[in-house]
């Protein structure tokens, strides 16, 4: 009997060891993820953990169908919003902790767009306004307001306060939002505050303001001038001046602030005392207008019928010639797209090269900077084609017309552009022509004329609205200045004129707008206020540099 019981006990033990009946483990708990939607106007799609998509069409609570185990991470994102709404998720990511996860809050609101643009030329702190928001801008480049506006919203950006010594204007400053507004353009320029008949602060080329002999009545040197002629240029920290009578270009260490300053370098001559007529790559013969875009210097050499380009700076000899096939050999003066005759001014900048081809009665434009000697121009103004060069010849019959027109020129001597507008001095027609947008077709007529009441008159006069043989021009893009050569003065406009014959706001060199004296009326001699045949202009903040050819000097005025 005892043996029988032991056998039964062993049998039960064996059965348990071989997998008899056991209690199953309970399934893991799972939980839902949900939340609340508000502000919806349309259809919204949410996504859970990159898998389940939930489309909603009304505000209120929502719950995903997918169940998640405890301690599982979850993430809810928006994958599609109504076209003109922006929907944001708050508390959309976390971990399940033993209960349904949430609430995930989804808020929809009208889609808004940024308002911004670009600032150029800023030298200080500028404050812009958009509604009740003000934005301080301290550097050039991109800017954007914090305030955002919905599609269809109206915006208007204004200048609230200006940087010291500058004026700023906003282009495309107002409109209706149709997307991100990124094309506002703010241009800041220096504002030259000058007085009528203001005295210069510095004189170069003479020992004092009352002397006027060429080369100080002696040999040429680093501190002397003989008939300085043409717009100076500031490039690489150096002031370059055409010393026409000495057949050279002088380079000074910046704009001189002390009278009688000496030049550091000379172009066109082997030294400061030589004044020989030159040609070839290293020579000059009566240089005139200069221009620089900061990396290169352009020099007009009218007696050699060419423009020389020095690059990179500083460069003692030019690296490229325009208007001739090369540096050597006799100058050609053919009337074509590649040849110049007596060019008196040049402007290089904004990717363009603009030349006053004076002897051919035209202005030539290269829309990209030439890279080879004698490169042909892309555009001609003052003539209907590259093969006509007669003055005031509107119909191209090679016969001078009885009167000028908006499309003709007679010895242009000065050019300026900001890449958008263009100004040309039309010397023998006693006027300045303005194009409000840069010309794109040959012979394109100007939009505005200064110095004359209309495009068909060419009478010299001495008044606030008249001119007598103007020669050179420059501008900040806002203010405009003209060297009115035979009226012995510089005229200034505080805004680029939009009306024919607009009178000037400022005169330098004369006590009033109706005088044309070559000396100071109080002393009958040269002074810091007088001009005699002013023959160029340079704006180099805060200085206005004027070559005073008749007094063989350079005057430096200062904005106040």
CA dihedral 235, 239, 242, 248 (to 10 degrees): -90
Cα separation, 413 vs 470, whole angstroms? 8
Q: Does the pLDDT value for residue 13 go beyond 50?
A: no
Q: Which of 6-15, 265-274, 300-309, 315-324 has the lowest mean pLDDT?
A: 6-15
Q: What domains lie within the chain, and their CATH numbers? A: 31-110 (2.60.40), 115-190 (no CATH), 202-558 (2.120.10.30)
157: helix, coil or strand? strand
What is the per-residue pLDDT across 445-462, written as a single tens digit (0 to 9) for each? 999 999 999 999 999 999
Q: Using alpha carbons, select from 365, 457, 356 the residue that is nearest to residue 406.
A: 457
Q: Does the pLDDT value for residue 373 go beyond 60?
A: yes
pLDDT at 313: 85
Q: Does the pLDDT value for residue 146 go beyond 70?
A: yes
What is the per-residue pLDDT across 34-87, written as a single tens digit (0 to 9) for each? 999 999 999 999 999 999 999 999 999 999 999 999 999 999 999 999 999 999
94: helix, coil or strand? strand
Q: Does the pLDDT value for residue 4 go beyond 70?
A: no
Q: Does the pLDDT value for residue 491 go beyond 60?
A: yes
Written as one string, the DSSP assignment of 405-449 is: -TT--SSEEEEEE-SS-EEEEEGGGTEEEEESS---STTPPPSEE
Written as one string, the DSSP assignment of 176-236 is: E-SS-EEEEEEEEEE-----TTPPPSEEESSSSTT---GGGGS---TT--SSB-S--EEET
pLDDT at 23: 74
Cα separation, 226 vs 475, whole angstroms? 26
Write out the two tokens for 214.
């060429």
Q: Does the pLDDT value for residue 551 go beyond 70?
A: yes
Q: Does the pLDDT value for residue 399 go beyond 60?
A: yes
Average pLDDT over residues 504-524: 97
CA angle 83, 84, 85 (to 5 degrees): 100
Average pLDDT over residues 271-287: 96
Alpha carbon 377 to its chain centroid, in Å, reads 23
* Locus of tokens 């020992």: 207
Torsion-angle region of 389 (φ positive above 0: left; ψ -120 to 50: alpha; else: beta): alpha
Q: Does the pLDDT value for residue 9 go beyond 80?
A: no
How many CB atoms within 10 Å of residue 70? 13
What is the per-residue pLDDT across 153-175, written as a single tens digit (0 to 9) for each? 999 999 999 999 999 999 999 99
pLDDT at 21: 58
What is the per-residue pLDDT across 94-106, written as a single tens digit (0 to 9) for each? 999 999 999 999 9
What is the per-residue pLDDT across 401-435, written as a single tens digit (0 to 9) for each? 999 999 999 999 999 999 999 999 999 999 999 99
The model's confidence at residue 15, banded by pLDDT at 50, 70 and 90, is very low
Alpha carbon 48 to its chain centroid, in Å, reads 51
The pTM of the full predicted model, rounded to 2 decimals, is 0.85
Q: Does the pLDDT value for residue 5 go beyond 90?
A: no
Whole-number average pLDDT of the chain: 95
């Amino acid at each position: 009997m005892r043996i029988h019981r032991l056998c039964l006990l062993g049998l039960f033990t064996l059965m348990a060891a071989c997998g008899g009946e056991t209690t199953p483990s309970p399934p893991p708990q799972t939980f839902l993820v949900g939340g609340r939607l508000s502000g919806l106007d349309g259809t919204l799609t949410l996504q859970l953990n990159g898998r389940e998509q939930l489309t909603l069409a009304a505000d209120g609570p929502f719950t995903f169908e997918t169940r998640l185990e405890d301690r599982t991470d979850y993430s809810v994102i928006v994958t599609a919003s109504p076209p003109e709404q922006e929907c944001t998720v708050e508390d959309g990511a976390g971990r399940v902790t033993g209960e349904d996860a949430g609430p995930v809050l989804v808020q929809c609101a009208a889609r808004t767009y940024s308002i911004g643009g670009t600032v150029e030329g800023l030298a200080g702190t500028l404050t812009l306004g958009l509604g009740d928001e003000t934005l301080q801008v301290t550097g050039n480049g991109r800017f954007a307001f914090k305030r955002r506006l919905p599609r269809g919203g109206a915006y208007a950006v204004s200048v609230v306060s200006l940087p010291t010594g500058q004026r700023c204007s906003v282009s495309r400053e107002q409109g209706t939002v149709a997307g991100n507004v990124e094309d506002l353009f703010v241009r800041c320029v220096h504002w030259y505050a000058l007085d009528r008949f203001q005295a210069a602060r510095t004189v170069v080329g003479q020992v004092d303001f009352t002397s006027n002999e060429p080369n100080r009545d002696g040999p040429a040197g680093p501190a002397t001038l003989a008939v300085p002629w043409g717009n100076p240029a500031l490039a690489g920290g150096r002031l370059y001046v055409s010393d026409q009578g000495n057949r050279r270009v002088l380079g000074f260490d910046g704009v001189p602030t002390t009278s009688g300053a000496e030049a550091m370098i000379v172009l066109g001559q082997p030294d400061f005392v030589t004044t020989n007529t030159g040609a070839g790559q290293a020579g000059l013969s009566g240089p005139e207008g200069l221009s620089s875009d900061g990396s290169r210097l352009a020099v007009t050499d009218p007696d050699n019928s060419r423009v020389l380009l020095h690059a990179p700076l500083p460069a003692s000899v030019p690296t490229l010639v325009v208007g001739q096939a090369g540096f050597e050999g006799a100058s050609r003066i053919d009337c074509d797209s590649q040849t110049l005759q007596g060019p008196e001014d040049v402007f290089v900048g904004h990717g363009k090269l603009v030349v006053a081809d004076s002897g051919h009665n035209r202005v030539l434009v290269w829309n990209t900077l030439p890279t080879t000697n004698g490169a042909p121009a892309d555009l001609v103004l003052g003539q209907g084609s590259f093969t006509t060069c007669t003055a005031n010849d509107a119909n191209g019959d090679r016969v001078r017309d009885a009167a000028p027109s908006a499309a003709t020129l007679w010895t242009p001597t000065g050019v300026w552009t900001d890449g958008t507008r263009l100004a040309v001095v039309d010397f023998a027609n006693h006027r300045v022509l303005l194009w409000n947008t840069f010309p794109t077709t040959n012979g394109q007529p100007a939009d505005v004329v200064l110095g004359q009441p209309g495009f068909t008159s060419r009478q010299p006069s001495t008044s606030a609205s008249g001119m007598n043989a103007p020669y050179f021009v420059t501008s900040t893009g806002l203010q405009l200045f003209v060297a009115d050569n035979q009226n012995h003065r510089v005229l200034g406009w505080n805004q680029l004129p939009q009306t024919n014959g607009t009178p000037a706001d400022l005169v330098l060199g004369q006590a009033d707008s109706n005088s044309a004296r070559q000396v100071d009326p109080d002393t009958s001699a040269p002074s810091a206020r007088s001009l005699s045949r002013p023959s160029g202009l340079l704006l180099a903040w805060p200085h206005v540099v004027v070559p005073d050819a008749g007094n063989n000097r350079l005057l430096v005025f200062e904005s106040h």
